Amino acid sequence: MHLVINGEKKEYANKSLNITELLEIEKVKNPDVVSVQLNGQFVDKVNYSTTSLKEGDEVEFLYFIGGGK
């Protein structure tokens, strides 16, 4: 399966992946604080394990970090 992850084209041997599996494969640190965008739409964390990825999907891993005074 071919996916675009954070703007980079990648190929995966698995023909069937969900977002939770992809986070594990990509060794995403702190997956609990990562927001995922699939084809421009945010995916609810409760749906990661049930959201199947398809050939050519575009996935963005986003970290929102607070700061300031």
Residue 66: the pLDDT is: 67
Q: Which CATH superfamily is domain 2-63 in?
A: Beta-grasp domain (3.10.20.30)
Distance (Å, rounded) from C-alpha 69 to C-alpha 59? 32
Identify the three-state secondary structure at position 4. strand
Which CA distances in Å does 35 have to 24, 31, 42, 61, 62?
Answer: 14, 8, 7, 6, 5
The per-residue pLDDT for range 4-57, each reduced to its tens digit, is 999 999 999 988 999 999 999 999 988 888 999 999 999 999 999 999 999 999
Band the pLDDT of 68: cuts 50, 70, 90: low
Residue 39: the pLDDT is: 98
